[in-house]
Amino acid sequence: MTSRTDSQSEVNTEEKAEARDNTRKVFVRTYGCQMNVYDSDRMTDVLASEGYTAATSLEDADLVLLNTCHIREKAAEKVYSELGRIRKVKEERAKNGKPMMIGVAGCVAQAEGEEIARRAPIVDLVVGPQSYHRLPKLLGQAASGTKVVETEFDIDAKFDHLSEQAAAPVRKRPPAAFLTVQEGCDKFCTFCVVPYTRGAEVSRSVSQIVTEAEQMAAAGVREVTLLGQNVNAYHGEAEDGSVWGLGRLLRRLAEVDGLDRLRYTTSHPRDMDDDLIAAHRDLESLMPYLHLPVQSGSDNILKAMNRKHTRDEYFRLIDRIRDVVPNIALSGDFIVGFPGETDQDFEDTMDLIRRVEYGSAFSFKYSPRPGTPGASMEAQVPEDIKSTRLAELQALLSDQQRAFNASRLGMTFNVLLEKTGRQPGQLVGKSPWLQAVQLDAPETLIGSIQAVEIVEIGANSLFGRLIGGQDESVQARHKAGPKVLKEAAFDA
């Protein structure tokens, strides 16, 4: 009896070892926006069904995917530089009989296409952001020795596949997650590559989004950020054939059990309608934070950028929003040194920032993107002037962010605890206004929403003290209805 058991144990051990040896590992490196983070997660999901598990390092990977972004300066060159480093790893693995496949995905893949395959022979697969749902088939083609370049705009098929994934068995998810509801942009700002790399505006259906949100909640997600290149232009079809805007979609998602927080990004001022603004008033779960890029405070530059709004229209929109949600935190994007920008144009931008008062913002020097109208415009601003203006603008934005953070000192509000911090016994979460909050708390509270008193302000974070017991009361107040919840939210 003992001998047979030992023999069986040896067989099981050998089978497990063989299974481990046959497991393929994928390493995904993500660049850029939140939508790329979402896409990378979905690529991992697609490959999991093919037997791939996540590699902890590039050196340990059988498949490396670079999910690229084309927004930042010299994006393509940075990808080629990274591929040069990966080539050495691939060659080293080959010496040990361990092949490695390399794929480039995302917006640089869409923009460069065949050029990547030509310039970087080590790349086996180039796949655009609308085609990653076909990864298993494309990898099969690449494994046979075919150089694969797939950059078709098959976004409907991608959205259908996302819905199929949402219906798959639930796996544990982090407390906060992204959910793509819309892709592409029809605005054609003269500095932007998005219409060329992501295509025209397309929205997922209401049922697709709700199904995925319900699956997320069942998997432990408590905060969902709805994503789109122009998310507030959402125009999804409902089951009765009607078309819903983002405000109505948010109201439906607020009814999903377990989803306690909703956010969305990135919005365009032209698509911020009354119903969406009213949703900020009506929904407790919709956080008091809005990323609403303006890019410039000069009417001359806004026109050159083809932004389709004026500075005065932006001011009036901000007033409407703050009339409804007085404590909302505003975030924005700013580009300095756009072609033709004068000292007065720049001062107009500084004036807009002073008048609006942002809680946070992102700012960049203009850098031409090949194929966009801005790249061929005359009166390009010298680099040294752009650098000087950016430093001045960022100093003002930093002052405003510090002032906004300081205004939270002594307040008590709900924090979603998401993960462990750098220090032992420390957890990190987000405030309703998207600020990082650090506090001492047990790991068992990860995924819960707790009342926290802010006792210290850091350069980029708030530091708090756990009040405790808040999560149960949050859930109880959800049953009381939106009006009661909204009143409770502003007690702090």
Residue type, 290: L
DSSP letter for each residue of 188-251: --TT--HHHHT-S-EE--HHHHHHHHHHHHHTT--EEEEE-TTGGG--EEPTTS-EE-HHHHHH
Q: Is 30 helix (H, G, I), strand (E, B) or coil?
A: strand
Distance in angstroms (rounded) separating the CA atoms of residues 10 and 277: 65
Query: Is 458 one of the annotated binding-site residues?
Result: no
CA 56 from chain centre, in angstroms, equals: 22
Residue type, 154: D
Residue type, 393: L
Positions of E strands within 279-386: 289-291, 329-336, 360-365
Report helix, strand and coil shares of the chain as percent, to nearest 5. 45, 20, 35
CB neighbourhood size of 324 (10 A): 14
Query: Is 146 one of the annotated binding-site residues?
Result: no
Half-sphere exposure of 440 (CA within 13 A, CB side): 5
Distance in angstroms (rounded) separating the CA atoms of residues 24 and 413: 45
Query: Is 107 one of the annotated binding-site residues?
Result: yes
In the DSSP assignment, the letter for residue 382 is P
DSSP letter for each residue of 291-317: E---B-S-HHHHHHTT-S--HHHHHHH
Tokens describing residue 224: 């969902």
Residue found by looking up tokens 């080959």 in the block: 94
Query: Is 386 one of the annotated binding-site residues?
Result: no
Give the list of residues 6+ apart from residue 378 with CB closer than 8 angstroms, or none: 339, 340
- 252, 213 contact by CB (below 8 A): no
For helices 482-489 and 274-282, what crossing angle results, to 10°? 80
Residue type, 341: E
Backbone φ and ψ of 299, nearest 5°: -60, -35
Query: Is 349 one of the annotated binding-site residues?
Result: no
Query: Is 69 one of the annotated binding-site residues?
Result: yes
CB neighbourhood size of 367 (10 A): 17
Binding-site positions for [4Fe-4S] cluster? 33, 69, 107, 185, 189, 192
Binding-site positions? 33, 69, 107, 185, 189, 192
